[in-house]
Structure 1
Amino acid sequence: MKLNPNTHVSSIISFSLLLWATLLVSVSSDLASDRAALVALRAAVGGRLLLWNLSSTPCNWTGVKCGQNRVVELRLPGMGLSGLLPIAIGNLTQLQTLSLRFNALSGPIPSDFANLASLRNLYLQGNSFSGEIPGFLFTLQNLIRLNLANNNFTGTIPESVNNLTRLGTLYLENNHLSGSIPDINLPSLVQFNVSFNQLNGSIPKGLSGESESAFQGNSLCGKPLVSCNGTESSSSKLSGGAIAGIAVGCVVGVLLILILLICLCRRKRGKKTETRDVGPAKPAEVEIPQEKAAGEGDNRSSGFSGVVKKEAKSSGTKNLVFFGKASRVFDLEDLLRASAEVLGKGTFGTAYKATLETGMIVAVKRLKDVTVSEKEFKEKMEVVGAMDHQNLVPLRAYYFSGDEKLLVYDYMPMGSLSALLHGNKGAGRTPLNWDTRSGIALGAARGIAYLHSKGTGISHGNIKSSNILLTTSYEARVSDFGLCHLAGPTSTPNRVDGYRAPEVTDARKVSQKADVYSFGILLLELLTGKAPTHALLNEEGVDLPRWVQSIVREEWTAEVFDLELLRYQNVEEDMVQLLQLAINCAAQYPDKRPSMAEITSQIEELCRSSSEKETHQTPDVGDGSSQQAYSVDSGAPSSVKD
C-alpha cells in the first residue's frame, strides 16, 4: 500500500504539535502545583504581609523566586507566620532555599520536607518548632546550610548528620537537645554551634577545633573546653606500666625541683653578700617591664625600670630624638619615670601605654631583634618620622642605644580594629554598622595609599587589623609602617601568616602589591567578622580567601557577611561591591591586584553611594535574602572545590 506524501507530512506536524502541547501542559502543571502549595501554606499560617495577588503568577509574589518556571526560593522571614506548617511545602520539588526564620511557627517539621531533594539552604531559626529533629532532613544530600537555632527541638542529634557531605553550616543552639554529640566528620563544615542545650559527654575530636562559644551552656568536656578528667571510656584508661612510669617521673621531677631550689637559695645568699661590699656608686637603671603572661593580674607597673641607663649629663647622655613640630614637653628621664601598661605584643616588639607625671599619655613601642646599625636606624626613622597624613599614627620621637630601641607615638584611646571586631562578643557589645566599617576601610586605604605614593620602594610590610588603630570617632590610623626593614628574619611570628601574600618569602621584603593582598584580607575581616589564620592568640582563625571563595562559588554571597552587618537594610549592594574589591585585592598573582590608589577611589565611591542613599540602617537580622540577586566573581583557584 502506498502512503500519500501529504498525509505523512501532516502526521508528523500533528505529532509535533501534540508533543509541544504535552510539554507546555507539563510545565504549566508543575508551576500550578507550586502555586497550590504556596496557597495552602498561606491559608495555614497566614501572615501580615502575605498579600499575594492570587490572580497573577506566583513568580511575582513577595518572597518567591522562580527559575525555569519553577519556584526555587521561598523567603518569608519575620512575616508574622504562626501555627503549624501544612503538608504542602514538599510539593515545591525544585526549591533550593527556604527561609521561614523569626516567625511563630510551631509543631514538628512536616514529613513532606523529605521531598525537597534540591534544597540547599534551610533557615528555620527563631520559631517554636518542637519534637525531635527529623531524620529525613539528613537525607537531603544537597543541603549546605541548616539553621534550626532558637526553637524547642528535643531528643538527640542524629548520627545521620554525616550523610550531609556538603554541609557547611549547622546551627542548633538554644534548643533542648540532650545526649552526646555524635562523631561529626564533615569536611565542608565551617560554621557550627550547639550551645545552650542539654548535651553531655565529651566533644568529638573532629569538632575540637571549634571555638568554646560553640559548646557553652551544656555539660560537655574535652577540647576546646576543660578536660574530661577521667570520664573517658575504659578503653582509654592508662595501663599499669604507664601509671608506674608517671609515678617514677613525678619522683624524679620532685628531686630536680629540690635541687633547683637549693641552687637558687645559694645564689640568692651570694648576692646578699655582694651588696655589703662598698664601692663606687653605679648609674641608676630603668627597665621597661616584660609583658605578663595571661592570668598574672593586670599589666600595669610603677615605671620603666632596669635596662636603659640614666648616665650623667656630663658624659653626653643620649636623649629622645623628636621629629618636626612634635612637642618636647618631656625628655627621656620623664618617660622612664612614667607608669607603664602593656597594650600588646606585636610583630616587632611590645607596645606600652605610658602616663607621664604631668598626665600626658603616649604610646611607646619597645623594639626587639633590631639588626641594623645606629646610622641606618636613624636614616630609616627619619623617613618614618617625615610621614605626615591624617590616617597614619605619627612617630613623635625615638631613642637608640646598644640595648634599647624605643619609638614614641600618639596614644590611640580606642585601641585597634582587631580588638573592636573580636574583643567583646558579649551581650553588651555594640554592633558595628556599615558606616563605621566602610569608614574604617576608607581611612586605612587612604593611609596606605599615601605611603605607596611617597616612592616606588615604600611599602608598609605588616598590614593587619591590630595595626589599624582608632580615634574616639572611629577614624582609622595606620601604625607600624616602616618597621619591617629593621627586624631580623626570624622576628616575624606566624600571627601575620593569615595576611601574608603567597609570594612573600622574607617578611623584611614586602612589595606594594603584597601590601594590597594584606589589605584585601583586612577587608574580608571587616566584612565577615572572622579573623584570618593565626591572627588571634589561642585561636586558629579562618583561611579567609579560601573560605569566602568557597561560599561565593555556592552563589550564596550573603552567608559571607557578619551577622552584625545583615542587621541593616539598603546597603547590600555596597557590601557586595566591597566584597568583590577585597577578593580582587587578595588575588593569587600580584599583577592581578589593583593599586592602593585604585582601591581608595573605589571605596570613596562606595561611601559616597551609601551617603546619598541616606540609609537609616533599621535593624533586620536575617539570612541576607536580598543579596541573592547580586553576583560576585570569586576568582577562586582551581583547588577550591564545592
Structure 2
Amino acid sequence: MKTVEMKLASYFAAFASLFLCCGSGTVADLDLDEQALLQFSATVPHGRKLNWSPATPVCTSWVGINCTKDGSRVIALHLPGVGLHGQIPANTLGKLDALMILSLRSNRLSGNLPSDVLSLSTLRYVYLQLNNFSGDIPSSLPPSLDFLDLTFNSLTGNIPTAIQNLTNLTGLNLQNNSLTGPIPNFSLPRLRLLNLSYNHLNGSVPSSFQKFPASSFVGNHICGPPLNQCLTISPSPSPSPTNFPPPTVPENPRRDSHKKLSIGAIIAIGVTGSALVFFLLLILVLSCLKKKRYQGGALTSKVKGGRSEKPKEDFGSEVQEAEKNKLVFFEGCSYNFDLEDLLRASAEVLGKGSYGTTYKAILEEGITVV
C-alpha cells in the first residue's frame, strides 16, 4: 500500500509541476505579446489615443486586440484609420508569433513593408491598403496566407515569384501602385479575387489569369485576353541580293498618262473655276457697295440742298406771289414788315448750327432782327 501511495504521490507531483509549467509558459507568451504591442504604440505616432495600458488586461480591454479563446495569445490586430504614421519598427509586431489577422489600413504608414511581420508563419489575412508604403513586396510571405491587400500604396519592383507558393491564397489586391515587369504565370487554384490594375506592368496576361475580368488588368501596358489582342509584327524578309523582282510595266502607258493628265486637268479647271466665281462675287459686292455709297451721298446732298435751296425757292415764289409775300408775327409783336424788306436789308452771318445758318439783318427802319 505504501508503495502504491508513493507512486500516486509522485504522479500527482509530476502532473502538478507540468500544469504549473504550462500555465507559466502561457502567461509568459501573453506578456511578450503585451510588451511588443506597447513598444509599437510608443514608437509609432498615432492621431487617436489608444487605451493600451499595462494596468488593464490585453485581451478584454485593449482596443483592436483579439486573443484566443483561452486568452493566452494575441491573434488579431485591427487598427484601421487611427492616424498611424511613420515606419513600423522591427522587433515590435514581428514578435507576435501567433498573429493571424493584421489590419492597419487607411493610415499614413510609410517606408518598406515590415518583412518580419509579413513572414510570420501563422499570418493569414493582411490588410495594409491606403498607406504610403514603398519599396518592394517581400518575398518571405508565409504559405498559410489567405488574403493580401496592398492597394493604394507606392510599392515598386516586380511581383515576387514567391507568391507561387501561396497555395491557400484566395485574394490578391495590388492595384494602384508602381509595380513593373511582367505578370508571372502563377498557378493558384484557390484564387478568387485578383486586381493588378493601374500599375506599370507590361507584357501579356498569363494563361492562368485570363479567367479574371478586364478590370483586373486595366491601367497597365499589357495585352491579351481578357484585354485586346497583342499585335504580332512579323519582320519583313530581307531581299536576296541576286534575285531582284522584275520591274512592273503598265499595260497601257498612254492610258495611264491620259488618266494622270485628265485628273490634273480636272483639278486645274476646278481651281480656276473657283477663283473665277470668287472674283465675280467680289466685283458684285464692290459694285453694290459703291452704288449704295453713291445713293447715300446723293441723298445727303439732296437733303442739304433742300435745306439751303428750298428757302431760295420759297423766297422766289414769295416775291413772285403776292399771297405768300407776308410774314406771320406772333401775338403781341409790334413789328410790321414783309419778306421783301428782309431781302433788301443788309445781313451778316452770326453762325451755323444743325438746323441752318443764323443771319443778323438791319432793316431800313433801323430795326435789327435775327
TM-score (norm 1): 0.34
Hey, what does 1:56 align to over in structure 2?
56
- 1:107 equivalent in alignment to 2:121: no
Contact kept, 8 Å, 1:44 with 1:83, in 2: the verdict is: no
Tell me which amino acid in the other structure corresponds to 1:19. Answer: L
Hey, what does 2:66 align to over in structure 1?
65
Hey, what does 2:33 align to over in structure 1?
34
For residues 309-362 of structure 1, give each alpha carbon's deviation from its aligned partner in whole angstroms, at most 9, with x where no partner exists: xxxxxxxxxxxxxxxxxxxxxxxxxxxxxxxxxxxxxxxxxxxxxxxxxxxxxx
d(CA) in 1 for partners of 2:7, 2:186: 64
Contact kept, 8 Å, 1:44 with 1:84, in 2: the verdict is: no
**Farther off after superposition, 29-38 or 120-129:** 29-38
Corresponding residue pairs, total: 230
- 1:76 equivalent in alignment to 2:79: yes
For residues 497-553 of structure 1, give each alpha carbon's deviation from its aligned partner in whole angstroms, at most 9, with x where no partner exists: xxxxxxxxxxxxxxxxxxxxxxxxxxxxxxxxxxxxxxxxxxxxxxxxxxxxxxxxx
- 1:96 equivalent in alignment to 2:100: yes
| SS of aligned partner of 2:140 | helix
| Deviation (angstroms), 1:13 | 2.9
Picking from 229, 232, 245, the partner of 1:230 is 232
| Deviation (angstroms), 1:28 | 0.5
Q: Residues 184-203 of structure 1 correspond to what in structure 2 (within 5 A)?
A: 184-203=186-205
For residues 121-151 of structure 1, give each alpha carbon's deviation from its aligned partner in whole angstroms, at most 9, with x where no partner exists: 10000011111000002xx111111001111
| Deviation (angstroms), 1:6 | 5.1
Hey, what does 1:151 align to over in structure 2?
153
Compared with structure 1, are the counterparts of its residues 3 and 98 closer, same or farther at alpha carbon in structure 2 (3 Å cutoff)? same
| Deviation (angstroms), 1:15 | 2.1
| Deviation (angstroms), 1:181 | 0.5
| SS of aligned partner of 1:130 | strand
d(CA) in 2 for partners of 1:211, 1:148: 20
For residues 359-397 of structure 1, give each alpha carbon's deviation from its aligned partner in whole angstroms, at most 9, with x where no partner exists: xxxxxxxxxxxxxxxxxxxxxxxxxxxxxxxxxxxxxxx
Contact kept, 8 Å, 2:139 with 2:161, in 1: the verdict is: no
d(CA) in 2 for partners of 1:18, 1:189: 47
Contact kept, 8 Å, 2:65 with 2:74, in 1: the verdict is: yes
Q: Percent identity?
A: 41
d(CA) in 2 for partners of 1:63, 1:74: 6
d(CA) in 2 for partners of 1:169, 1:115: 18
Contact kept, 8 Å, 1:127 with 1:151, in 2: the verdict is: yes
| Deviation (angstroms), 1:5 | 5.5
Q: Residues 350-361 of structure 1 correspond to what in structure 2 (within 5 A)?
A: none
Hey, what does 2:177 align to over in structure 1?
175
d(CA) in 2 for partners of 1:6, 1:210: 71
d(CA) in 1 for partners of 2:42, 2:109: 14
Q: Residues 129-144 of structure 1 correspond to what in structure 2 (within 5 A)?
A: 129-137=133-141, 140-144=142-146
Q: Residues 132-531 of structure 1 correspond to what in structure 2 (within 5 A)?
A: 132-137=136-141, 140-230=142-232
Contact kept, 8 Å, 1:125 with 1:147, in 2: the verdict is: yes
For residues 562-594 of structure 1, give each alpha carbon's deviation from its aligned partner in whole angstroms, at most 9, with x where no partner exists: xxxxxxxxxxxxxxxxxxxxxxxxxxxxxxxxx
| SS of aligned partner of 2:54 | coil
d(CA) in 1 for partners of 2:98, 2:89: 18
| Deviation (angstroms), 1:7 | 4.6
Picking from 117, 121, 127, the partner of 2:125 is 121
d(CA) in 2 for partners of 1:114, 1:172: 15
Contact kept, 8 Å, 2:119 with 2:140, in 1: the verdict is: no
Compared with structure 1, are the counterparts of its residues 106 and 198 closer, same or farther at alpha carbon in structure 2 (3 Å cutoff)? same
Hey, what does 1:11 align to over in structure 2?
10
| Deviation (angstroms), 1:111 | 2.6
d(CA) in 2 for partners of 1:180, 1:117: 28
Hey, what does 1:319 align to over in structure 2?
none
Gaps of 5+ in 1: 238-642
| Deviation (angstroms), 1:10 | 3.6
**Farther off after superposition, 28-37 or 10-19:** 10-19
Tell me which amino acid in the other structure corresponds to 1:171. Answer: N
Contact kept, 8 Å, 1:155 with 1:176, in 2: the verdict is: yes
Gaps of 5+ in 2: 236-370
d(CA) in 2 for partners of 1:7, 1:16: 14
Tell me which amino acid in the other structure corresponds to 2:161. Answer: E
Compared with structure 1, are the counterparts of its residues 160 and 27 closer, same or farther at alpha carbon in structure 2 (3 Å cutoff)? same
For residues 155-190 of structure 1, give each alpha carbon's deviation from its aligned partner in whole angstroms, at most 9, with x where no partner exists: 000122111111111000111100111002211111
Tell me which amino acid in the other structure corresponds to 1:36. Answer: Q
Contact kept, 8 Å, 2:161 with 2:184, in 1: the verdict is: yes
Tell me which amino acid in the other structure corresponds to 1:65. Answer: N
d(CA) in 2 for partners of 1:133, 1:109: 7
d(CA) in 1 for partners of 2:66, 2:5: 46
| Deviation (angstroms), 1:3 | 7.6
Tell me which amino acid in the other structure corresponds to 1:73. Answer: A
For residues 456-493 of structure 1, give each alpha carbon's deviation from its aligned partner in whole angstroms, at most 9, with x where no partner exists: xxxxxxxxxxxxxxxxxxxxxxxxxxxxxxxxxxxxxx
| SS of aligned partner of 2:222 | strand
Tell me which amino acid in the other structure corresponds to 1:80. Answer: G
d(CA) in 1 for partners of 2:144, 2:134: 24
d(CA) in 2 for partners of 1:219, 1:94: 40
Contact kept, 8 Å, 1:40 with 1:86, in 2: the verdict is: no
d(CA) in 1 for partners of 2:188, 2:3: 66
Contact kept, 8 Å, 1:93 with 1:115, in 2: the verdict is: no
Contact kept, 8 Å, 2:140 with 2:162, in 1: the verdict is: no
d(CA) in 2 for partners of 1:71, 1:149: 26
Hey, what does 1:43 align to over in structure 2?
42
Tell me which amino acid in the other structure corresponds to 1:43. Answer: A
Hey, what does 1:555 align to over in structure 2?
none
Q: Residues 591-630 of structure 1 correspond to what in structure 2 (within 5 A)?
A: none
| SS of aligned partner of 1:217 | coil
Indicate the structure (1 or 2) with the bigger Cα radius of gyration.
2
